[in-house]
Amino acid sequence: MCKKFCILAVMISIVLSSCAPVAFIGGAAIGLGGYKYYDGKLVVIYPASLEKTFDASISAMENLEYQIYERQRKLTSGKIVTTGSIKDQIKLSFKYHSVEETEVTIRVGLMGDEAASNKIKDKISDYLFNK
């Protein structure tokens, strides 16, 4: 009983201090370098090159039946934008961290949609690691 209480106390203190450590722990369990949702954006670190992450994101967006309006990939960055009104437009921004690490920022709509962002994150992971 005491052990369970101590574990619960540690978990609560982590959550109250910041949700980011919990998100990073959860992300590591499913093959992500980490992720956090803040200010309407989901920021994900994928342990894959920019090229592979960008290509997996294109495939994921097409699989989710979003129409891609703009796609742009440079040496250290990239961007994907879907068509739609401002309130339901999706923007993915890519940033090179290292040869095997890419940061992706996902924003759904003007104010953000955490559930939709997580769905996109999971679909990108599927294309990166399961296919």
Least confident of 15-24, 53-62, 102-111: 15-24
Higher pLDDT, 5 or 117: 117
Least confident of 20-34, 35-49, 98-112: 20-34
pLDDT of residue 30: 44
Q: How confident is the model at residue 32 (pLDDT cuts 50, 70, 90)?
A: low
Higher pLDDT, 31 or 28: 31
Domains of the chain and any CATH numbers: 2-130 (3.30.310)
The 10s digit of each residue's pLDDT in 37-74 is: 999 999 999 999 999 999 999 999 999 999 999 999 99
C-alpha distance from residue 18 to each of 4, 36, 56, 66 (Å): 21, 10, 30, 33
Q: How far apart are CA 3 and CA 7, in angstroms?
A: 6
CB 103 within 8 A of CB 45: yes
The 10s digit of each residue's pLDDT in 68-103 is: 999 999 999 999 999 876 678 999 999 999 999 999
